[in-house]
């Protein structure tokens, strides 16, 4: 039976897994571009893995458990327990990924001075810069959406901050999808936009249900405090898991 993902190894005690679709992508790169295509593809996903390890390293330093890192054709996912983390920690964890990509950009930019690998380093430098900027877009599940959420939470509360970030993300996703499909005539860009739209919506619903299950009501809609029902912890776990599955559903199509 074919597995959906394979374990590459452990880094900092974190299982690093690769989705089977990424292996298919490597085979495609070989037949289309030869051995150089594999080198470039592996280089890109090493950079993505380091980006995710940046998130994970800060999370571990702050005392949170990182379950695994999954590499997919559309990027990487760090699965960790930080739903109850402090806002400062969330901000640091979210910012660590783009900062790692920015550092890698600087390293590859300097390595461009070495002639034998100048072209490869130049392209990897550009890729890391784009990875940094792309992840700073204000939408879920990108780092920019989580940074915006963490910055706004002290001012308007976690639920409203998530709602605002989710709304901005859905508007950007819709605009990106329309532009990609009707201007570039690229259905793949439309599919990516649809994934971003669903992820932004799922993030708000997960935080909404988590807030309701922990407090017994949604903040701002009642004045009487009540104790959480016995099933609150299970409900919170269910909706958190549901959010994770929704966010990765479209990734698993590739």
Supply the range of the domain harboring residue 76: 1-136
Decide which of 112, 136, 160 is a domain's last residue: 136
Select from 63, 73, 44, 60 the least CA-distant residue to 10: 60
Same domain, 106 and 143: no
How many domains, the chain?
A: 2
DSSP at 116: G
Q: Is 52 a catalytic residue?
A: yes
Decide which of 73, 105, 136 is a domain's last residue: 136
Same domain, 1 and 116: yes
Same domain, 142 and 128: no
Alpha-carbon distance of 194 to 115, in angstroms, equals 42
- Residue 212 banded pLDDT, cuts 50, 70, 90: confident
- Residue 72 banded pLDDT, cuts 50, 70, 90: confident
In whole numbers, what is the pLDDT of the chain averaged over residues?
Answer: 77
111 or 101: whose pLDDT is higher? Answer: 101
With respect to residue 254, please indicate whether it lies within any of the assigned structural domains: no
With respect to residue 1, please indicate whether it lies within any of the assigned structural domains: yes
The H or E element containing residue 30 is helix 20-33
Strand 14-19 and strand 5-11: pairing?
Answer: antiparallel
**Residue 85: which residues within 8 A CB-CB, separation 6 or more?**
62, 64, 93
- Residue 215 banded pLDDT, cuts 50, 70, 90: low
Q: What is the pTM of this model?
A: 0.68
């Amino acid at each position: 039976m074919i597995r959906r993902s394979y374990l590459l190894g452990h880094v900092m005690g974190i299982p690093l897994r690769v989705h089977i679709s990424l292996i298919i992508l490597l085979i495609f790169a070989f037949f289309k571009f030869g051995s150089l295509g594999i080198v470039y593809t592996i280089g890109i996903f090493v950079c993505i893995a380091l980006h995710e390890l940046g998130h994970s390293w800060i999370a571990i330093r702050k005392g949170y458990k990182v379950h695994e890192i999954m590499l997919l054709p559309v990027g990487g996912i760090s699965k960790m327990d930080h739903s109850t983390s402090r806002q400062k920690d969330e901000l640091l964890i979210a910012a660590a990924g783009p900062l790692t990509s920015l550092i890698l950009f600087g390293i590859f930019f300097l390595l461009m001075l070495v002639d034998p690998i100048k072209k490869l380093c130049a392209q990897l430098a550009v890729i890391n810069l784009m990875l940094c900027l792309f992840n700073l877009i204000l939408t879920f599940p990108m780092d920019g959406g989580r940074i915006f959420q963490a910055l706004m939470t002290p001012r308007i509360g976690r639920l409203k901050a998530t709602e605002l970030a989710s709304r901005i993300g859905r508007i950007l996703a819709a605009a990106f999808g329309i532009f990609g499909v009707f201007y570039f005539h690229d259905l793949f860009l439309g599919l990516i936009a649809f994934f971003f739209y669903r992820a932004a919506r799922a993030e708000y619903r997960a935080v909404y249900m988590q807030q309701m299950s922990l407090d017994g009501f949604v903040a701002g809609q009642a004045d009487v405090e009540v104790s959480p029902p016995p099933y609150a912890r299970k409900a919170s776990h269910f909706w958190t898991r549901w959010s994770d599955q929704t966010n990765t559903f479209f990734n698993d199509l590739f």
